[in-house]
């Protein structure tokens, strides 16, 4: 696959960002709509027509990770942060202080108990956050173990997540993280991340075409 | 909210099942498409038009849980099993042997490492499975702790998940579960589920209008 220039990345971001956001709004609306059955059937037919046209060119099997000319990867298919994935909220994760941080909003599509975020969605978010904290701290790895402690229910709405490296030892890194809502701390997580052998070999060989392990998760 | 007869539930299933499945296929296609930019922009405009029409009637805030005349709940908005939620794969979970089981397929929308299921998506699935196992065994609860152990990478594709009650003590239930791919066991989970006070009070008072705790997660 050809490497992408930063100009290409910017152009694709301007195209696919709003497109995928429109799709997220359709997913949210589809859950909550109360229009008559005939309107639902008509919407289905139109959705199927759009899908057929988007399939007119050969499709990627999955999104995977694109390579950029600056040596970084682009995981736009990722289930948590993927710009092109309508399943992803998506989170924008920034480095801050001792680790990483994200402010995000979860609506109807992420519901478990009525009005609350699904406990597994909180695990999904924290797995990504802890993995990014490990990568941002120069200790990338894949999740080996992850433990979630739920302190109280998490209401749907505006949330923040933070994660940081607790300690590291060779290829092992232990990270911790938290999710806060307007009610305060709702979930804590700790995880062990290990750099797999193939990635260690790629890094040792200086193979720049290997996607950055920061994007494993 | 009025209770739904089983005939109403069947009619809505026949309407919203294929509608949401069409939307899942659009989400998957949107990640993988390579059509020209103008076609993406046209698709976006059409998606926005469909969304606007589905918003013509007052919308539910979130889906929550509908009540049925047989006393069970219907969690069609749930992020893992929700019939009307395009973020959900959705899993169909059946009682089998000592616990619950599900066979399902995860495609591009659930990707983490290239070609692999996102570790957090596996946590999401297992949280739901363990919660359902607790509920199916007559010991419903909300997740208090959940620990995932990742044994090997999980390739995108066909998967099975199983979960069962390990032991229970009063309002606490410990459950375990596993995910298997064609490569064998990939993830193990154990969790503690606790029945919250408001649900205990509702059950004690015999309030049939309280959603079944089986559907908390």
Cα gap B16→B18, rounded to integer Å:
6
A19 contacts in B (CB within 8 Å)? 30, 40-41, 43-44, 47
Query: Which pTM value belongs to this model?
Result: 0.93
What are the domain boundaries of chain B? 91-215
Interchain proximity A124–B121, CB inside 8 Å:
yes
Backbone angles phi, psi at A159, to 5 degrees: -135, 160
User: Are A59 and B26 inside 8 Å of each other by CB?
Assistant: no
Q: In what order do the strands lie in the sheet with A157-169?
A: A94-96, A99-106, A157-169, A172-181, A184-194, A142-150, B142-150, B184-194, B172-181, B157-169, B99-106, B94-96
CB contact under 8 A, B39 and A33: no
Could you tell me which of A191, A120, A110, A193 has the C-alpha nearest to residue A157? A110
d(CA B180, CA A215) in angstroms, rounded, equals 24
Residue A97: pLDDT band (50, 70, 90) is confident
Nearest to A18 among B36, B44, B54 (CB): B44
In this structure, what token pair is assigned to residue B145?
A: 């702790």
DSSP label at residue A16: H
Q: Do B22 and A47 touch (CB under 8 A)?
A: yes
- Tokens for B4, please give them: 């739904």
The answer to whether B91 faces chain A, any CB pair under 8 Å, is no
Instruction: Identify the pLDDT of residue A66.
Output: 80
Q: Which class is domain A91-215?
A: alpha beta
- ipTM for this model: 0.92
CA A156 from chain center: how many Å?
A: 18
Chain B interface includes A43 (CB < 8 A): yes
The stretches of chain A forming alpha helices (DSSP H) are: 6-32, 37-54, 119-136, 197-205
CB A122 within 8 A of CB A148: yes
Mutate to test the interface with A, among B39, B62, B81, B217 (most CBs of A within 10 A): B62
Inter-chain residue contact A64 with B146, CB threshold 8 Å = no
Nearest CB partner across the interface for A87, out of B58, B65, B110 = B110
What CA–CA distance (Å, rounded) separates B75 from A112? 8
Q: How far apart are CA A59 and CA A85, in angstroms?
A: 15
Between A and B, how many CB-CB pairs are < 8 A? 317
Q: Which residues pair with A143 in a beta bridge?
A: A193
Give B55's contacts in chain A (Cβ within 8 Å): 29, 33
User: How far is the C-alpha of B33 from the C-alpha of A56, rounded, in Å?
Assistant: 8
Rounded to an integer, what distance in angstroms lies between the CA atom of residue B83 and that of residue B69?
Answer: 19
Q: What is the mean pLDDT of chain A?
A: 91
For residue B115, count other CB atoms closer than 10 A to its CB: 15
Residues of B in contact with A214 (CB under 8 A): none
Percent of chain A scoring above 70 in pLDDT? 92
At residue B26, the pLDDT reads 98
Best interface-test mutation with A: which of B4, B51, B131 has the largest number of A CBs within 10 A? B51
Residue to mutate among B20, B32, B45, with most A CBs inside 10 A, is: B32
Residue B110, chain A, CB below 8 Å: the answer is yes
Which of B101, B98, B103 is closest to B165 using CA atoms? B98
B29 vs A55: CB contact, 8 Å cut-off? yes
Q: A61 falls in which pLDDT band (50, 70, 90)?
A: very high
Using DSSP, state whether B38 is helix, strand or coil.
helix
Alpha-carbon span A215 to A133, nearest angstrom: 11
- Interchain CB contact of B37 with A (< 8 Å): yes
pLDDT tens digit sequence for A16-51:
999 999 999 999 999 999 999 999 999 999 999 999
CA dihedral A184, A188, A194, A199 (to 10 degrees): -30
Percent over 90 (pLDDT), chain B: 76
Q: pLDDT tens digits for A137-157?
A: 888 889 999 999 999 999 999
Whole-number pLDDT of residue A71: 67
Count CA atoms closer than 13 A to A21's CA, side-chain side.
Answer: 7
Of B25, B39, B54, the CB nearest to A35: B54
Cα distance from A59 to chain B (closest Cα, Å)? 5
Mind listing the pLDDT tens digit for each residue in B69-124? Answer: 776 778 999 999 999 999 999 999 999 888 999 999 999 999 999 999 999 999 99
A96–chain B nearest CA distance, Å: 22
Determine contact, residues A113/A122, Cβ cutoff 8 Å: no
Of A18, A87, A126, nearest to B109 by CB-CB distance is: A87
The pair of structure tokens assigned to B84 is 């009307």
Q: Is A104 on the interface with B (CB under 8 A)?
A: no
Compute the half-sphere exposure of residue A217: CA atoms within 13 Å on the CB side of its CA: 33
Instruction: For residue B54, list chain A residues with Cβ-Cβ distance below 8 A.
Output: 26, 29-30, 33, 35, 39-40, 43
Task: State both tokens at A128.
Answer: 């990504």
In sequence order, which ranges of A137-184 are alpha helices (DSSP H)? none
SS3 B204: helix
How close does chain A come to B98, measured CA to CA in Å?
23
Q: Which residues does B105 contact at the CB level (< 8 Å), separation at least 6?
A: B89, B157, B158, B159
Contacting residues of A for B126, CB less than 8 Å apart: 120
> pLDDT class for A213, splitting at 50, 70, 90?
very low
A59 chain-B contacts, CB cut-off 8 A: 29, 32-34
């Amino acid at each position: 696959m050809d490497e992408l220039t930063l100009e290409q990345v910017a152009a694709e971001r301007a195209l696919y960002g709003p497109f995928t956001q429109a799709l997220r709004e359709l997913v949210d609306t589809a859950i909550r709509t109360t229009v008559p059955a005939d309107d639902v059937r008509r919407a289905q037919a139109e959705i199927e027509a759009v899908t057929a046209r988007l399939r007119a060119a050969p499709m990627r099997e999955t999104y995977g990770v694109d390579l950029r000319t600056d040596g970084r990867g682009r995981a736009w298919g990722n289930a948590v942060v993927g710009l092109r994935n309508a399943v992803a909220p998506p989170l924008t994760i920034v480095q801050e202080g001792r680790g990483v941080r994200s402010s995000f909003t979860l609506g109807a599509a992420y519901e478990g108990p009525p009005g609350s975020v699904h406990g597994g969605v909180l695990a999904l978010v924290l797995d990504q956050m802890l993995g990014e904290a490990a990568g941002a701290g120069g200790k990338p790895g894949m999740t080996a173990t992850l433990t979630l402690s739920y302190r109280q229910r998490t209401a749907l709405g505006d949330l923040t997540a933070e994660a940081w490296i607790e300690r590291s030892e060779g290829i092992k890194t232990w990270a911790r993280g938290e999710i806060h809502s307007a009610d305060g701390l709702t979930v804590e997580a700790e995880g062990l991340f290990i750099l797999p052998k193939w990635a260690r070999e790629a890094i040792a060989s200086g193979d720049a075409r290997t996607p950055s392990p920061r994007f494993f998760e």
